[in-house]
Chains A and B, each alone.
Chain A
């Protein structure tokens, strides 16, 4: 998931063009991350040192790790650690950008540092993010401002991101939409969450264009859903229902008992959210974009 944010960051800061980013992302699945990128990522070597080792490799028949150890940049233990480390997607993206000649080691390294600085991340936070910690990533990217400090919202959105990755698409990015943005949606699937005695309801909803709903339905159902109708509604509705059910189990484990009403699908124009306070999150996947709308769940506690 960090690869999506990092790619978007590179694009927004003008560090890569949209075309080149697309090329690199397409190539990334086939890319094997090499030791140099791993060493830069974790801060064991600088970009200059990596370049130097690569230069040396053109003159002698030795592995990257051997030369790097000989030059005293890393220890044998660090090489073993890097070789067995988890190769997260942003590294594959970085390697792919480097392999395609779009970026060099220096620019990749400074882009990582720039991302870290702009998001005011500590070494520890950044390390969690690059190791694939979704909660740390969403904390830095999304769960700020009005969303900060609301445990139910934070838990709900963290879980939603994980369920998107689990059931829909590993390549997603979540962004907060400004409050009061009135996007005309074609379709909305909604499911109210209730407190234990069912005296209070707070809406959760997925909203989007018809094309997005059809894509979402096709991906979740595992078969083509080509037109609006019961299957589209059932698939998108069941995804929300499944997510909400898992959220209820997690909340119950934390001592908060909640309940669910059945989900329903309405035309965008018929959707009403009575509550002033709500989070509107844009979910950007490789094949669809839609909004997650969640009223203030902390009020159900």
Chain B
């Protein structure tokens, strides 16, 4: 669990803090934060996280563009979209760009942990 690296990417400090607090409590320690798509890409290149929890609507570079770029240079990084816009259209777009899963906000810790465990057990295509 210690080595499982998770990048939390959301432009809202509150969302990042809530996810970070919840995951820290569950024992995950290798947590990184980004507040837009550009930062997320930079951290992915440097840290090679196992999982990115990625918001969609963000300034500078949105989550779908960042998803495409991340999957392009390292398709082994799992990217799960966490967005308030859970429309069929956004879902299809995200899947087409290689997203591993899609959670609609507000998300529960249980939902995130279930996704992490699925990835850790090798069933990450979710």
Contact = CB atoms under 8 A, between A and B. Distances in A.
A252 B87 contact: yes
Contact of A242 (B11, B58, B84, B88): B84
B57 interface: yes
Given A249-B85, A252-B88, A252-B89, A262 B13 contact: no
A132 to B, nearest CB: 23
A230 interface: yes
Contacts, number: 55
A245 B11 contact: no
Interface stretch (A8-16, A123-131, A203-211, A233-241): A233-241
Interface residues of A, number: 25
A234 B105 CA distance: 15
Contact of A241 (B17, B57, B88, B89): B57
A261 interface: yes
A245 B86 contact: yes
A234 B14 contact: yes
Interface of B: 11-15, 17, 57-59, 83-89, 104-106
Given A235-B14, A260-B85, 14 more contacts: A234-B12, A234-B15, A235-B12, A237-B12, A238-B12, A241-B12, A241-B57, A241-B84, A245-B57, A245-B83, A248-B87, A249-B104, A259-B85, A260-B57
Q: Can you list the 8 inter-chain pairs with the closest CB atoms, starting with the nearest? A: A245-B84, A234-B13, A252-B87, A234-B14, A238-B12, A234-B12, A245-B85, A262-B59
Interface of A: 167, 220-221, 230-231, 233-235, 237-238, 241-242, 244-246, 248-249, 252, 257, 259-264
